[in-house]
Amino acid sequence: MSTTTRIRYGNLTAPGMQGLFGIPLPLFLASLAALVITLFLFVLAEWWVGLLAGVVCAVLMAPAAIRVRHGRTLYQRLGLGLAGRRARASGANRLVAGPAGRTADGTFRLPGIAAQSEVSDHLTAFGLPFAVVRIPSTDHYSVVLEAHPTGNDVVDQQVVDSQVAQWAAWLTLLGQEDGIVGASVTVETSVDSGLRLRRSVLTPVHDEASEFGKAVAGEVAGGFGASMPAISTRVTITFSGKVEGKSRPKAAVVEDIANRLPELMDGLGATGAGSHVRPSTSQDLTDYVRTAYDPSVAADIERARAGEGTGLSWHDAGPAFHEVAFDHYLHDRAVSMVWTLGGLPRGTFYDTSLKQMLSPDKRVARKRVTLLYRPIPASRTSSVVDRRERNATMVSTTGRTKRGANTAAARASQQTADEEAAGAGLVLFGMVVTATALNSSGDLSRATAEDLKGARQMITSQSAKARLRLRVALNSSDSAFVAGLPLGIVLPEHTRVPASLTDGLI
């Protein structure tokens, strides 16, 4: 009798270099510089001048070392509160769009970091239509693929393990491809209106069928599919329009994407994404984003798509109203709470760890889980691994605190180096979880506690079972909401500190 051992996944490390005493390397170097300045003033100036300089440096650096809830430093927490109060005082947290709104062109553009986004339709090398989402501020071009995974309920464990390995190989391929700066997987669950299922039942009924047959089909379709869960999965690939720091013409970038997209789509076949992976068109993305901001129109959009189409343009996809509160986000006739990954998952996990997180739940109108990936180019993986291994070895041999954790980090860095030498890639990853409920109060200025209570309890419970450390996106729900949509938003590229600088500290 043979037994199968389930594969456990782990060996995840947080980005950034570590100094002694468990503090980040930049803060450790700043502390050394402050110590040198203090000693310098002690020797060349009065003793009280050096003492005063040391106290001032300690007061300034202490908030950067003290961690509060969800791993945020005091500076980060104070910055979030200050930014939120400033936005609410100036009205920048509230947007009224449309002809009667405050937008310059009178349209319903996407808010925030996606306001400049553009969508255009093109054809692949094999004549397959696909849409490209362009973000001019970062010169990024994104393609969205619709996948139809079958799940793993009736799949052998060996097949599941093979699919996980193929997914890892596909992510490694992204790091080997030139110009790919990001990827994401978005799994959205909602309550199906039943229109598609009823239409599939009634469509085969011929006009010449008997009255009894028509009555039976109508009765079955009348109660078939209502309140059933609907699950959609989308894979987004983001390309950079720059080569060696110089922007290329849009036509050249799109042509490159059109030639490379079929191979990338074929690579998803063995990952469990399903046998029918197709690119989304601009109309597909427009209708999807419109429904995300106002789930109450989902049935109307689905009904229109079954007929002559919605006729919506990209400038009609955004909300007519939105307001960013401290811990939630009001948009049109809905309210959302957004969580982001606030730390490394605790311990090891299995291929089913996210199953409940990805499952539908009737307590919210829509739940969207987006896994964000930033593959490190293959040309940099060796230097990154070597630098992290040297840092972990230095900390484990010289540090006198947290010896167990430091030794474990050194072993993990050694394992990472061995796997990278064997051909594995390195990927930065994150997660955005969005729970959207309909605003039952009818008051667009605030959300009732009942609208958010179910979402908060649901995500808190499911994240604890998945051993995930999620934290609420405070005063930034609109940006996190957009990042959770399959639009290819690479958040580090939209920060004031450029990603090219922060990536150098990995």
Residue 40 inside a domain? The answer is no
254, two tokens: 């799109």
pLDDT at 203: 53
Number of structural domains, the chain?
1
How far, in Å, CA of 417 to CA of 383, rounded? 10
For residue 333, being part of any structural domain is answered with yes
pLDDT band, very low/low/confident/very high, at 2 (cuts 50, 70, 90): very low
- Residue with the larger pLDDT of the pair 87 and 193: 87
Domain with 113, as residue range(s), is 66-204+212-376+425-505
Query: In which band, very low, low, confident or very high, does the pLDDT at 215 lie, cut at 50, 70 and 90?
Result: low
Q: Mean pLDDT, to the nearest integer, of 95-106?
A: 82
**Phi, psi (rounded to 5 degrees) for 9:** -115, 145
Are residues 486 and 373 in contact, defined by beta-carbon separation less than 8 angstroms?
Answer: no
Local structure of residue 6 (DSSP, 8 states): P
Is 142 part of a structural domain of the chain?
yes
Q: Does any domain span residue 2?
A: no
Average pLDDT over residues 310-338: 90
In the predicted model, what is the mean pLDDT of the chain?
A: 81
Average of pLDDT values for 154-181?
Answer: 87
Domain for residue 314, yes or no? Answer: yes
What pLDDT, in 10s, does the model give residues 256-298? 999 999 999 998 988 888 878 999 999 999 999 999 999 988 8
Give the model confidence (pLDDT) of 367-406 as tens digits: 999 999 998 887 777 777 777 777 777 666 665 556 656 6
Q: Is residue 170 part of a domain?
A: yes
Is 182 a member of any domain? yes
Calpha distance 479→493 (Å, rounded): 13
Whether 191 is covered by a domain: the verdict is: yes
Long-range contacts of 442-447 (CB under 8 A, 24+ apart): 444/321, 444/323, 444/330, 444/333, 445/323, 445/330, 446/325, 446/330, 447/325, 447/328, 447/330, 447/335
